[in-house]
Amino acid sequence: MKINYEQGTHGYLDITFGPKWDYVPLTKNYVENFLLINLIDKDNIGKIAISASELLENAVKYSSKDGIRMIIRKILEKRTIELLVMNFTTLEMYNKVKEIVDVMNNSDPMEYYINKMKEAAVSEEGESGLGLARINYECGAKISIGYSEDDTVIVVKSIFNID
């Protein structure tokens, strides 16, 4: 999982761990503390920490092997914080998540979130897609997704404006 840190990156965090549920809340707390040092306001810190937790939960749940990686980087020139979460997966799972992200990005965030909450309330499968909808609506993040066939890695990227 190679990441090129673009010029203009001011402060970043890069963590890799095995898919273990116990690490998710610990990592969320660590992210909050990291952002207190490297960010400006607590509202954005909460949104990014919630997003990290949601994406890490997905990564743990759907990872095909060890090696979940999370990167947070602050890019002053763009006035953004980027959160990337990567995990090993199958092309089939990537295509499933890509379809969800594409539909979500082409929908009204609030309407999409409400529909996902309704689906989650009656779902018996335990897969609601609510986490991504929550990041998009509650946290106001722009979400994109990528896949590296060489490593069979899915990358979910959330971008937060830090005006």
Q: Which domain CATH number covers 143?
A: 3.30.565.10
**What distance in Å separates the CA atoms of residue 25 and residue 121, rounded to the nearest whole number?**
24
Q: In angstroms, rounded to a whole number, what is the distance separating the alpha carbons of residues 158 and 31? A: 14
Q: Is residue 1 part of a domain?
A: no
Number of domains within the chain: 1
What is residue 6's predicted lDDT score, i.e. its pLDDT? Answer: 55
Per the model's pLDDT, the better-predicted residue between 5 and 111 turns out to be: 111
Q: Cα dihedral angle (56, 58, 129, 147), rounded to 10 degrees?
A: 100
Is there a contact between 141 and 50 (Cβ–Cβ < 8 Å)? no
For 18, the domain range is 9-161
- Residue 7, number of CB atoms within 10 A of its CB: 7
pLDDT at 1 over 50: no
Distance CA 48, CA 2 (A): 22
Residue pLDDT, tens place only, 23-53: 888 888 888 888 888 766 777 888 999 999 9
Residues making up the chain, counted from first to last: 163
- 53-108 pLDDT, tens digit per residue, is 999 988 888 888 888 899 998 888 888 888 999 999 888 989 999 999 999 999 99
Residues 148-161, mean pLDDT to the nearest whole number = 84
Would residue 90 count as lying in a domain?
yes
- Gap between the Cα atoms of 51 and 7, Å rounded: 24
Q: Is residue 131 part of a domain?
A: yes
37 in a structural domain: yes
Task: Region of 92 please: left (phi>0), alpha (psi -120 to 50) or beta.
Answer: alpha
